[in-house]
Each structure stands twice: as C-alpha cells, then as structure tokens.
Chains A and B, each alone.
Chain A
C-alpha cells in the first residue's frame, strides 16, 4: 500500500496545520495561566489598597469648648475625685449645641452628640486634670469625629440610601453638611491609627498594640529558633554520622515542615498552657509556638547554606591544624551565615503572618492596652486583622484593610532585606 509522494505530502501538510494550531493553543493556555496568576495578584492588591487607603486619614471636628465650672465642679472644691467623675460629655454636648442652638429634645441631642467620638470627653478630662487653670475658660480643640461621620465624608456610607437603611439619620447628615460648610470638619493624617491599641470604637482603634505584640512574639521566636536551627544544621551537616538516629531526625524535620500550623497550636494549648501552666494570650507562648513552627524552615535553609560551602575550605582549615569545631566555627559558619540569615528572615516573615496557632493559645482576646512584657496579654497584627474583620461596623472594613497594608509593608521590608542580603553576601564558588 504505497502512496504517491504528493498524497503523503498533502497528508503531512494537513496534519501539520493541525499540529501547529495545537502548538499555538497550548502556548496560549500557558500564557493565559501566567496572566491569570498575575491578574489574581493585581486584584488582591487593588482590593486591599483601595479599601484600606482611606483609613490613613481620619475626620476631625474642631469645636470650642467651655470648661464650665457649673458642670464639672459645682461646689468649687477642685479636688481630684470631683474631676475624675465629672460629666465631661456634657461639655462636648454644650459645645455642639452652641453650633446648633435650635436642637431640642433628648433624641435630637443624643443624635447630635453621636457625631463626636466618645474619646472627646476623655480628652477634656485629661487636659483639665493636667492643668487646673483651664477651669472656666474657653478652648478650641480638635476632636475625633465619630466613625459614621468619617465614613460619610469618605463616601463609604451612601447618601442615596433610605434613611432606615443608613447608619446616619437625615438630620445628622444635614448637621454634618452644615459643619462641613463651616469648615470645622477636616480630614487629617490618622495618627491615632499608629499609636493606639485596639478599641470597640473604630475611630479610636489603632494597630500599635498589635504591632508591639508582634515584635515581642517575633523576638521570642527569633531568640529561640535561630540558635537552635543553626546548631541543628551544623550538627547534621558537619558532625553527625549517618546512623538510624540522624535519619530519624532528618525525616522528622522534613515532616514537621509540612505539618499544618494549627496542629502546632494544639501542641501549644495542650503542652504549654495546660501542662506547664503558662499564661494565656502571652507573647512568650506565642513566640514559643511560632519558634517550633519556623524551626524546620530555618534548619532546611541553614543546611543548604552549609552544603554550599566548598569542601576545599574545610580541607584547608583541617590541613592547617584546626580542630573540627574550629574549622566549623572559624570558616564554615561565617561563610554560610548570609544564607542562614536569609533563611531566618524568610522564616520570620512566615511567622509574622501566622494566625491559626495563635488563636489556639488565646491571643485572640480583645486587648486595649499596649503590651509591656512577655507575659502580658497581647495580640499580633494578623490576629488583629482577623478580629477587626469580624466587627460589624462599616468603618472596621477600612481599618482591617489598613492593618493588612501595614502587615504587608512589614513583610515586604523583611523579604527585601532577605533579597538584599542574599545578593550582597552570597558567594558563588
């Protein structure tokens, strides 16, 4: 069954067209997959940044308050106890009423005073306690506006909604417009976001407490995991003979690297909290758990770094009469250090973003204070994100995204350091 050359050729050319079409299609699938991946990156970042960017600015309301002796200290005693329990919100109310003299009735007054954050009274109290001479004087101060005012001005609460569906009443919107018209409402840099702890009031909530908690926790993690991981890597690469025991250690490390992080949380709960009686919600325990979690990552990176040091260096050191430990400490370790540090930073970056195991050991509590010690209750940045994302207030969505931005910036800085370290100090032999 022989075909003529022309027939064969026609056949081949026909199949060739099909094959080349398949080739193009295959290539397009590949490119499509890559572009889809890039699209996901873009969508993720735009969604977070577009929602969170506005939280770095916060609406403030400038009011003239009168430290009315008749309200704060009717008997004129001026002692600390009276000042501590006085009715400061009344001063704020009075200042607002001064702007809108025709507001009458309890409901309207309450709605009016809802425009200012509850922190305003605390500000007045702090100022008066610090300086008694303010009594009976007028002062113009800038207060935080309530989160709903803030959201309206940023356009996140729609004016077109029905009054019943909107967090603000029509009357309140009118007042806000009047205040805006008078120029006393201003959008300023949100300093409180970077200096406050957590709060139930969105306008007062900040990430500083969680940030400090993260620093404490990561500090413990670093102090524990780096030395242990480096020591393990040195032992396994330079000292250990291949025995059943070292095989077991290696298998263990590889498996630990892939154990779900929440299982480490269970370990922390059962071991550290219940058996050893360590405090709940403490950075110390969080750091311990995260250290165990990052250990395999750093060990694996450190071993790779040690392996990359050429044997000739070891032989030269031994040839000059160095002992084995001297050879390792004086020659191998310094040369492997950049690689080890890179691995450590990457491990720390992973620990920084880790949430699930910390939920298990109670670092999910609502904590207003900025932590001041390793055993004080604390929370960390990713857990703060988790907590805020659960809050019903509209303004917390913005704050959550802003906290994510802070977390991502933190991560980018760490990873960039790792890359710079690798590029500058890593030697290729």
Chain B
C-alpha cells in the first residue's frame, strides 16, 4: 500500500469519525430538539472524535516515515557479508547509496555486483514489510482513537473546551517549529564543523593564507596540498561585498532621498515599484547577466584602456550584486526617512535652511541609525548571496586586493565542495560545513546588531 492511499484512507476515517461523533451526541439527547441539553454544539463532538482519530495516527506515521530508511539501512548493514563489515565509513556510505539506487530503480542493473543485488532485494523486502506494518499500525491507532472518543461522548462532556485546548496546543506546536529550525541549523552545521576541526585546527582554518581543498589521492600528486586556510575566501567575500555596497549604498540612498523628499506622488508611484522589480528577480538571473554580459563587457573595456581584466573578475560579480541590493537599501532608507517627523523639517526650514541642507543636516542625521541598520542587513545579504558569485566569480582562491582579478568567496566554495558526489568523512566535504558555520555566525551577528539598531530607532519616534 502506498503512502498516499494510506493518507486517503485516513482522511476517510477522519470524516467518518466526525460524522459518527456528531450523530452520537445528537442521538444521546434525542435529536435536534434536545440540543440544549448538550454542553457544546454537536459540531464540537464531531471535531473531538475526528481529532482523536486523526492526530495520533498522523503523528505516528510522520515519525515512522522519518526514521524508516535509517532503521532499515541499519538492519541491512548488520547483515553485510564479512568483508563489507571491514569497510570504513566512507566506503560504506557509497555502498549504501548504491543499494538505495538499485532499490529505487535509478540505475540500470547491468554490472551491479550480486551481493549488492542481494542486499537491495533484502532492502526492498524490509521496505514492504515496514510499509505493511505502518499501514496496519496507523489504521489500528486511528480506529482505536475513534472508538475511544466515541465512547466518551456524553451530554456533559465539555467537547468545545477539549477541542479548543487541543487547537491551542497545535498552534503552540507550530510556533515552536521556528525554534527547532534554528536548533537544526546550528546542530547540523556545528556537528560537521567539529568533525572538521578534529582534522584541521581552528587556528589554521581562520588564519591560514592558502586554500586548496583538493586532498591528494596519491602521495606524489602535484597541486593538491589539501590546505584549509580560509583567509583568501574571507577577503574575496569582503571584496565582492564591498564593491556591491559601493554601488548599492549611494544609488540606493540617493534614490530613497529623491523619492521620499523631492519626487511628486505620481513619479513616486510609478518609479518605486519599477525599482522594486530588481528585488524580485531571482539571483540566478543576475548571475547569468553577470557571467554573460557584464563580465565580458568589463574585459573588453579593460582591453580598450589597456588593463587586464579577468573574465570572472570580482568587479563584475560585485557590480551586479550591488544592483541586486539597490532596492533593498532604497526601500529601507525610504521607510526610515519617511519616519522622521515633519516637525523636524519644518524647524529647519524656519531657520532658513534649503531643502538639501535640511535633508543632509536634519533628516539624514535623524534617520542615520535606521539607515545604518539597513546597510548592515544589506551587507549580511551580500555576504550570504550565492548564485551571482557561483556563476560570475572564480573558483581559485587568490589572495589579492585587485578587483580586476578573479577571487572566490565562502559561498562559492560551499557550493563547489558540496555539489556532486560526496564522502562524508573527508575534510574537503566537512570544510564546507565549517564555512557554513562561519557564514551563519557572521550573518547572525550582523542581523542581531542591525535589528537592535533599527528597533531602537523606531521606538524613538513612535
């Protein structure tokens, strides 16, 4: 039985439970006329029965499915033939992947070792047993819940209160998911990073000047030192983000000033949405634009003026990233400028200041904390931006301060280290998680500071 059919059956059972519960509550008091003898409306008795029928069953099913594959894999590997037991974790992972691929039919069976086929057959058998057991269990739980709730129904049962309590718990449960997501992120990134720091010291990672994560397969292989010094990545990220901010802050801020202080309403109502279109464009589109249009254009321009510009220069990626961030800065600054009370402006005008003097010396100064907060958020965005740099920045870690050369960034390295086949014990793969940890911590710190600054500023004028 597939899971969708099981879910469908469960849905039918829940509907049935609702109907049975409602009917029973009515029949207990002798139909619609006796309804005032019920504590709650009949609808609530139905709901209570349905909840009892559906909730526990769904919970069990969810947990089961979450762990089914892991448990089956564990059981299978206990049955591995002797020489497979001796494999190390990485090779074992590859083997299990192969078995899973055979099971899901994603690869052709030609050339697959017979032991793998046997293991796959065992896997498949266990899977079908597990599915059968799951279906039985879920249906039994659902029917038991239905029966239990159905028997409980009596005119004095406070069905509404019970249903409302359950709902409140459900709402609370949903709201805690955000916390669990954060915990999940921290745990998964930290756990793998710790494994990485067993191999490479924190000191070397944070302060090392050379980055070449290709570990040597043979001792005599050239060019694969397996060095994990992340400073070139940090500098590359900082350079590209810096270029982006050099574009985005002036353009964004000045257009916010113009739109908030100078433009008439019609101009504003047309231009603001058009600028915000820039914020809605997927980053992969910017990446394509940077790699195919801006990059070559800069290189040609460089040839004309006699500079050598790499086709994957930091400048191209930074420029395009800056364009992406313009609407972010302009709409945040716009909000902040609009939040400055009119009385401050009037005061400045009354002293004889011109408009631009008022803006520069009064409005911007009053809005400065908010704007700084917005810029901090924008920086965190630039650091975490991935697709533009993956497509337009380089792969090799250069320690350079020249924006015309190719540099690489933290996010580019995470993507290159983790796309394609991975072994989960090589420092190369684990390094990606260590980079992810750094990225997470830095952006988190920026956000916390930025939100604090913005909030403080808002309270000031509200």
Chain A interfacial positions (CB closer than 8 Å to B):
19-20, 22-23, 26-27, 29-34, 36-38, 40-41, 44, 47-48, 51, 227-228, 231-232, 234-236, 239-240, 246, 248-249, 252-256, 258-264, 266-267, 269-271, 274-279, 292, 295-296, 299, 323-325, 349, 352-356, 359-360, 362, 364, 375, 377, 382-383, 385-386, 389, 397, 400-401, 404, 407-408, 411, 415
The reply to whether A325 and B444 form a contact with Cβ atoms under 8 Å apart is no
Q: A37-B326, A249-B178, A389-B291 are in contact. Are A258 and B443 (CB under 8 A)?
A: yes
Tell me which of A30, A44, A228, A231 contacts B281 (CB under 8 A): A44
Chain B interfacial positions (CB closer than 8 Å to A):
66-67, 69-70, 73, 100, 104, 106, 160, 163-164, 167-168, 170-172, 174-179, 181-182, 184-185, 188-189, 191-192, 250-255, 257-259, 261-263, 271, 274-275, 277-278, 280-289, 291-293, 323, 326-327, 330, 354-357, 359-360, 377, 380-381, 383-387, 390-391, 411, 414-415, 418-419, 424, 432-433, 436, 439-440, 443-444, 447-448, 451
The reply to whether A389 and B175 form a contact with Cβ atoms under 8 Å apart is no
- When C-beta atoms are compared, the residue in chain A nearest to B254 turns out to be A33
Q: How distant is the Cα of A355 from the Cα of B432 in the complex, in angstroms?
A: 17
Tell me which of A23, A47, A278, A349 contacts B356 (CB under 8 A): A23
Q: How distant is the Cα of A240 from the Cα of B436 in the complex, in angstroms?
A: 33
The reply to whether B280 and A349 form a contact with Cβ atoms under 8 Å apart is yes
The reply to whether B70 and A275 form a contact with Cβ atoms under 8 Å apart is yes
B284: which A residues are within 8 A, CB to CB? 353, 355, 382-383, 385-386, 389
Closest CB of chain B to A242's CB: distance in Å? Answer: 13
- When C-beta atoms are compared, the residue in chain A nearest to B288 turns out to be A389
Tell me which of B100, B188, B356, B443 contacts A266 (CB under 8 A): B188
The reply to whether B184 and A263 form a contact with Cβ atoms under 8 Å apart is no
The reply to whether B168 and A261 form a contact with Cβ atoms under 8 Å apart is no
Tell me which of A359, A364, A377 contacts B106 (CB under 8 A): A377
Q: How distant is the Cα of A255 from the Cα of B384 in the complex, in angstroms?
A: 14
The reply to whether A255 and B444 form a contact with Cβ atoms under 8 Å apart is yes
The reply to whether B291 and A263 form a contact with Cβ atoms under 8 Å apart is no
A397: which B residues are within 8 A, CB to CB? 292
Other A-B contacts than A37-B255, A37-B330, A276-B69, 4 sampled, CB-CB below 8 A, are: A41-B278, A262-B384, A266-B189, A389-B284
B381: which A residues are within 8 A, CB to CB? 258, 260
- 21 A-B interface contacts by CB (under 8 A): A30-B261, A33-B252, A48-B289, A228-B177, A231-B174, A232-B174, A236-B175, A246-B175, A252-B179, A252-B182, A254-B451, A258-B381, A262-B414, A263-B189, A276-B66, A276-B67, A356-B387, A359-B390, A359-B415, A359-B419, A360-B414
The reply to whether A364 and B179 form a contact with Cβ atoms under 8 Å apart is no
The reply to whether B288 and A260 form a contact with Cβ atoms under 8 Å apart is no
A355: which B residues are within 8 A, CB to CB? 282-284, 386-387
Closest CB of chain B to A232's CB: distance in Å? Answer: 4
- Chain A interface SS verdict (over half): helix
The reply to whether A249 and B175 form a contact with Cβ atoms under 8 Å apart is yes
Closest CB of chain B to A199's CB: distance in Å? Answer: 19
Closest CB of chain B to A388's CB: distance in Å? Answer: 9
Closest CB of chain A to B48's CB: distance in Å? Answer: 13
Q: How distant is the Cα of A33 from the Cα of B447 in the complex, in angstroms?
A: 27
Q: How distant is the Cα of A382 from the Cα of B286 in the complex, in angstroms?
A: 11
- Chain B interface SS verdict (over half): helix
The reply to whether B171 and A260 form a contact with Cβ atoms under 8 Å apart is no
The reply to whether B289 and A259 form a contact with Cβ atoms under 8 Å apart is no
The reply to whether A40 and B292 form a contact with Cβ atoms under 8 Å apart is no
The reply to whether B185 and A389 form a contact with Cβ atoms under 8 Å apart is no
B383: which A residues are within 8 A, CB to CB? 260
A40: which B residues are within 8 A, CB to CB? 278, 323, 326
The reply to whether B288 and A353 form a contact with Cβ atoms under 8 Å apart is no
Closest CB of chain B to A324's CB: distance in Å? Answer: 7
A232: which B residues are within 8 A, CB to CB? 171, 174-175, 177-178
Closest CB of chain B to A6's CB: distance in Å? Answer: 20
The reply to whether B181 and A295 form a contact with Cβ atoms under 8 Å apart is yes
Q: A41-B275, A259-B440, A263-B189 are in contact. Are A386 and B387 (CB under 8 A)?
A: yes
Q: How distant is the Cα of A320 from the Cα of B291 in the complex, in angstroms?
A: 63
A359: which B residues are within 8 A, CB to CB? 390, 415, 418-419
Tell me which of A36, A262, A299, A352 contacts B178 (CB under 8 A): A299
Among the interface residues B170, B188, B293, which one has the most CB atoms of the partner chain A within 10 A? Answer: B188
Tell me which of A36, A260, A292, A364 contacts B181 (CB under 8 A): A292
A400: which B residues are within 8 A, CB to CB? 288
The reply to whether B424 and A274 form a contact with Cβ atoms under 8 Å apart is yes
The reply to whether B439 and A263 form a contact with Cβ atoms under 8 Å apart is yes
The reply to whether B444 and A259 form a contact with Cβ atoms under 8 Å apart is yes
